[in-house]
């Protein structure tokens, strides 16, 4: 089985969208308090979950016709995107260890 370009692009899109899921979860988590209401009505947490669901949808579509051994390593690009978003949105430092 050869992995088509469309599968590669879908998985890359999934990784990109998933990185935004992490950003929104972090942003929502920073606004949580001891009250359960802050969890239930936190739109940032909901957006983060939504981005992860959307990311999973594209990932599954990509896997449908592609090879897992080719596509799954591309998921790691989501971690790299998250590094940049962390710097941009939260001012977290990019260190050599990261």
Burial of 81 (0-12, 13-18, 19+ CB in 10 A): middle
> What is the model's pLDDT at position 39?
72
The whole model's pTM is what?
0.86
Mean pLDDT computed over 77-86: 94
pLDDT above 90: residue 94 = no
* Count of helices and strands (H, E) across the chain: 5, 0
pLDDT tens digits, one per residue of 24-78: 999 998 888 877 777 778 999 999 999 999 999 999 999 999 999 999 999 999 9
Residue pair 17/62 in contact (Cβ under 8 Å)? The answer is no
Rounded to a whole number of angstroms, the distance between the first and last alpha carbons of the chain is 35
CA nearest to 47, candidates 32, 27, 73: 27
> What is the model's pLDDT at position 31?
85
* Alpha carbons 33 and 36: distance in angstroms, whole number: 8
């Amino acid at each position: 089985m050869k992995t088509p370009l469309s599968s590669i692009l879908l998985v890359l899109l999934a990784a990109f969208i998933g990185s935004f899921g992490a950003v929104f979860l972090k942003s929502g988590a920073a606004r949580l308090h001891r009250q359960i209401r802050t969890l239930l009505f936190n739109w940032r947490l909901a957006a983060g979950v939504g981005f992860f669901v959307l990311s999973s949808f594209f990932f599954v579509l990509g896997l449908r016709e592609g090879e897992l051994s080719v596509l799954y390593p591309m998921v790691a690009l989501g971690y790299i995107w998250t590094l940049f978003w962390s710097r941009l949105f939260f001012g977290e430092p990019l260190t050599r260890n990261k």
